Amino acid sequence: MWKQTGGWIGFIVCTAIPQWKMSSFSGDAIITAQATYEGLWMSCVMQSTGQMQCKTFDSLLKLDSATQATRALMICGILAGFFALCIGAVGLKCLTCLQDDEVKKAKVGIVGGILFIIAGLCVLIATSWYGNKIAREFYNAFTPSNSKYEFGPALFIGWAGAAMAILGGALLCCNCPKNETSYPPPRGYNKNAASAPKDYV
Protein backbone atom coordinates (compact mmCIF):
# COMPACT_ATOMS: atom_id res chain seq x y z
CA MET A 1 0.00 0.00 0.00
CA TRP A 2 3.03 2.29 0.26
CA LYS A 3 3.13 2.80 -3.54
CA GLN A 4 -0.46 4.01 -3.59
CA THR A 5 0.01 6.26 -0.57
CA GLY A 6 3.24 7.72 -1.96
CA GLY A 7 1.57 8.40 -5.30
CA TRP A 8 -1.36 10.16 -3.64
CA ILE A 9 0.98 12.34 -1.56
CA GLY A 10 2.82 13.14 -4.78
CA PHE A 11 -0.46 14.34 -6.29
CA ILE A 12 -0.98 16.80 -3.44
CA VAL A 13 2.60 18.09 -3.53
CA CYS A 14 2.50 18.45 -7.32
CA THR A 15 -0.74 20.42 -7.19
CA ALA A 16 0.35 22.71 -4.36
CA ILE A 17 3.84 23.83 -5.39
CA PRO A 18 4.25 26.63 -7.96
CA GLN A 19 7.15 25.06 -9.89
CA TRP A 20 5.12 23.68 -12.80
CA LYS A 21 7.21 25.69 -15.24
CA MET A 22 10.33 27.77 -14.68
CA SER A 23 12.04 30.41 -16.75
CA SER A 24 14.54 29.11 -19.29
CA PHE A 25 18.08 30.46 -19.58
CA SER A 26 18.53 29.49 -23.21
CA GLY A 27 18.72 33.00 -24.64
CA ASP A 28 21.74 35.23 -25.08
CA ALA A 29 20.61 38.46 -23.47
CA ILE A 30 18.81 37.29 -20.34
CA ILE A 31 18.81 38.35 -16.72
CA THR A 32 20.02 35.59 -14.46
CA ALA A 33 19.54 37.56 -11.25
CA GLN A 34 16.04 36.15 -10.86
CA ALA A 35 14.10 33.05 -11.83
CA THR A 36 10.39 32.96 -12.57
CA TYR A 37 8.13 30.05 -11.62
CA GLU A 38 4.52 29.51 -12.47
CA GLY A 39 2.07 26.92 -11.16
CA LEU A 40 -1.64 26.23 -11.12
CA TRP A 41 -2.44 28.70 -8.36
CA MET A 42 0.30 31.33 -8.31
CA SER A 43 3.40 32.72 -10.00
CA CYS A 44 6.64 33.31 -8.11
CA VAL A 45 9.89 35.18 -8.65
CA MET A 46 13.05 34.03 -6.88
CA GLN A 47 15.90 36.47 -6.48
CA SER A 48 19.56 35.47 -6.56
CA THR A 49 19.63 36.06 -2.79
CA GLY A 50 17.14 33.20 -2.31
CA GLN A 51 14.17 35.42 -1.50
CA MET A 52 10.94 34.34 -3.21
CA GLN A 53 7.90 36.51 -3.84
CA CYS A 54 4.65 34.87 -4.97
CA LYS A 55 1.38 36.25 -6.26
CA THR A 56 -1.78 34.19 -6.53
CA PHE A 57 -3.86 34.39 -9.68
CA ASP A 58 -6.58 36.99 -9.27
CA SER A 59 -9.42 35.36 -11.17
CA LEU A 60 -10.15 31.88 -12.44
CA LEU A 61 -11.80 33.29 -15.55
CA LYS A 62 -8.59 35.06 -16.59
CA LEU A 63 -6.69 31.78 -16.82
CA ASP A 64 -6.36 29.94 -20.09
CA SER A 65 -8.44 26.83 -20.68
CA ALA A 66 -5.42 24.50 -20.41
CA THR A 67 -4.63 25.67 -16.88
CA GLN A 68 -8.27 25.40 -15.82
CA ALA A 69 -8.52 21.86 -17.21
CA THR A 70 -5.24 20.92 -15.52
CA ARG A 71 -6.56 22.18 -12.20
CA ALA A 72 -9.75 20.15 -12.59
CA LEU A 73 -7.89 16.96 -13.51
CA MET A 74 -5.47 17.29 -10.60
CA ILE A 75 -8.31 17.84 -8.11
CA CYS A 76 -10.17 14.84 -9.56
CA GLY A 77 -7.00 12.77 -9.21
CA ILE A 78 -6.58 13.77 -5.56
CA LEU A 79 -10.22 13.00 -4.72
CA ALA A 80 -10.17 9.68 -6.56
CA GLY A 81 -6.92 8.79 -4.80
CA PHE A 82 -8.42 9.58 -1.41
CA PHE A 83 -11.43 7.32 -1.99
CA ALA A 84 -9.12 4.67 -3.43
CA LEU A 85 -7.03 4.72 -0.24
CA CYS A 86 -10.12 4.30 1.94
CA ILE A 87 -11.60 1.50 -0.16
CA GLY A 88 -8.30 -0.22 -0.87
CA ALA A 89 -7.43 -0.33 2.83
CA VAL A 90 -10.57 -2.37 3.48
CA GLY A 91 -9.41 -4.92 0.91
CA LEU A 92 -6.04 -5.48 2.56
CA LYS A 93 -5.54 -8.94 4.01
CA CYS A 94 -3.86 -7.53 7.13
CA LEU A 95 -7.11 -5.86 8.26
CA THR A 96 -9.91 -7.78 9.91
CA CYS A 97 -12.66 -5.93 8.03
CA LEU A 98 -14.68 -8.34 5.84
CA GLN A 99 -12.38 -11.13 6.94
CA ASP A 100 -15.25 -13.63 7.00
CA ASP A 101 -15.90 -13.23 3.27
CA GLU A 102 -12.63 -13.43 1.35
CA VAL A 103 -14.30 -13.10 -2.05
CA LYS A 104 -16.03 -9.84 -1.11
CA LYS A 105 -12.82 -8.55 0.50
CA ALA A 106 -10.89 -9.23 -2.72
CA LYS A 107 -13.56 -7.47 -4.80
CA VAL A 108 -13.34 -4.39 -2.57
CA GLY A 109 -9.57 -4.37 -3.12
CA ILE A 110 -10.10 -4.51 -6.88
CA VAL A 111 -12.44 -1.50 -6.71
CA GLY A 112 -9.76 0.40 -4.82
CA GLY A 113 -7.19 -0.60 -7.44
CA ILE A 114 -9.41 0.64 -10.27
CA LEU A 115 -9.85 3.98 -8.51
CA PHE A 116 -6.08 4.26 -8.10
CA ILE A 117 -5.60 3.67 -11.82
CA ILE A 118 -8.22 6.32 -12.64
CA ALA A 119 -6.53 8.79 -10.28
CA GLY A 120 -3.13 8.09 -11.82
CA LEU A 121 -4.49 8.56 -15.33
CA CYS A 122 -6.07 11.90 -14.37
CA VAL A 123 -2.74 13.20 -13.04
CA LEU A 124 -0.79 11.72 -15.95
CA ILE A 125 -3.06 13.40 -18.50
CA ALA A 126 -2.92 16.73 -16.63
CA THR A 127 0.86 16.84 -16.30
CA SER A 128 1.48 15.59 -19.84
CA TRP A 129 -0.95 18.13 -21.29
CA TYR A 130 0.69 20.97 -19.36
CA GLY A 131 4.16 19.76 -20.32
CA ASN A 132 3.16 19.59 -23.98
CA LYS A 133 1.97 23.18 -23.76
CA ILE A 134 5.34 24.26 -22.32
CA ALA A 135 7.24 22.42 -25.05
CA ARG A 136 5.13 23.94 -27.84
CA GLU A 137 5.65 27.45 -26.51
CA PHE A 138 9.39 26.81 -26.06
CA TYR A 139 9.91 25.71 -29.67
CA ASN A 140 7.60 28.39 -31.07
CA ALA A 141 9.68 30.75 -33.19
CA PHE A 142 7.51 33.71 -32.19
CA THR A 143 8.12 33.25 -28.45
CA PRO A 144 10.77 35.69 -27.17
CA SER A 145 13.87 34.13 -25.63
CA ASN A 146 13.27 35.80 -22.27
CA SER A 147 9.67 34.47 -22.16
CA LYS A 148 10.44 30.79 -22.66
CA TYR A 149 9.81 28.28 -19.90
CA GLU A 150 11.06 24.78 -19.14
CA PHE A 151 9.65 21.84 -17.20
CA GLY A 152 9.48 22.47 -13.48
CA PRO A 153 9.96 19.95 -10.65
CA ALA A 154 6.20 19.66 -10.15
CA LEU A 155 5.79 17.88 -13.48
CA PHE A 156 8.34 15.22 -12.56
CA ILE A 157 6.70 14.75 -9.15
CA GLY A 158 3.35 14.35 -10.87
CA TRP A 159 4.70 11.81 -13.36
CA ALA A 160 6.33 9.80 -10.59
CA GLY A 161 3.17 9.90 -8.46
CA ALA A 162 1.01 8.83 -11.41
CA ALA A 163 3.33 5.91 -12.18
CA MET A 164 3.25 4.76 -8.54
CA ALA A 165 -0.55 5.03 -8.36
CA ILE A 166 -1.11 3.14 -11.62
CA LEU A 167 1.37 0.42 -10.65
CA GLY A 168 -0.10 0.10 -7.16
CA GLY A 169 -3.63 0.00 -8.56
CA ALA A 170 -2.66 -2.73 -11.01
CA LEU A 171 -1.22 -4.78 -8.16
CA LEU A 172 -4.47 -4.43 -6.23
CA CYS A 173 -6.46 -5.49 -9.28
CA CYS A 174 -4.32 -8.63 -9.56
CA ASN A 175 -5.80 -9.78 -6.25
CA CYS A 176 -8.70 -11.49 -8.00
CA PRO A 177 -11.16 -13.51 -5.93
CA LYS A 178 -10.96 -17.26 -6.29
CA ASN A 179 -13.89 -18.84 -8.01
CA GLU A 180 -15.08 -21.50 -5.61
CA THR A 181 -17.07 -24.27 -7.32
CA SER A 182 -19.27 -26.29 -5.03
CA TYR A 183 -19.56 -30.01 -5.72
CA PRO A 184 -21.96 -32.41 -3.97
CA PRO A 185 -20.30 -34.42 -1.21
CA PRO A 186 -19.13 -37.88 -2.29
CA ARG A 187 -21.52 -40.67 -1.44
CA GLY A 188 -20.07 -43.48 0.59
CA TYR A 189 -19.98 -46.99 -0.82
CA ASN A 190 -21.55 -49.58 1.49
CA LYS A 191 -19.87 -52.91 0.90
CA ASN A 192 -22.34 -54.79 3.12
CA ALA A 193 -25.28 -53.50 1.11
CA ALA A 194 -23.66 -54.57 -2.13
CA SER A 195 -22.83 -58.08 -0.90
CA ALA A 196 -26.16 -58.71 0.82
CA PRO A 197 -28.40 -61.29 -0.97
CA LYS A 198 -31.42 -59.91 -2.72
CA ASP A 199 -34.85 -61.42 -2.16
CA TYR A 200 -36.74 -62.15 -5.31
CA VAL A 201 -40.47 -62.62 -5.02
β-sheet bridge partners, residue 35: 46
**Total structural domains within the chain:** 1
For residues 96-123, give the mean pLDDT.
82
Q: How far is CA 138 from CA 102, 148, 174, 194, in A?
A: 53, 5, 41, 91
β-sheet bridge partners, residue 36: 45
Q: How far is CA 59 from CA 37, 42, 98, in A?
A: 18, 11, 47
β-sheet bridge partners, residue 149: 23
Any idea what the CATH number is for the domain that residue 139 is in?
1.20.140.150
Q: What is the pLDDT of residues 117-154, one digit of tens each?
A: 999 999 999 999 999 999 988 888 777 777 788 899 99
The range of the structural domain enclosing residue 117 comes to: 2-17+65-177
* Distance separating alpha carbons of residues 58 and 38, to the nearest angstrom: 14
Q: What is the pLDDT of residues 165-192, one digit of tens each?
A: 999 899 888 865 555 444 445 555 555 5
With bands split at pLDDT 50, 70 and 90, how would you rate the model's confidence at 89? confident
Q: Look up the pTM and report it.
A: 0.77
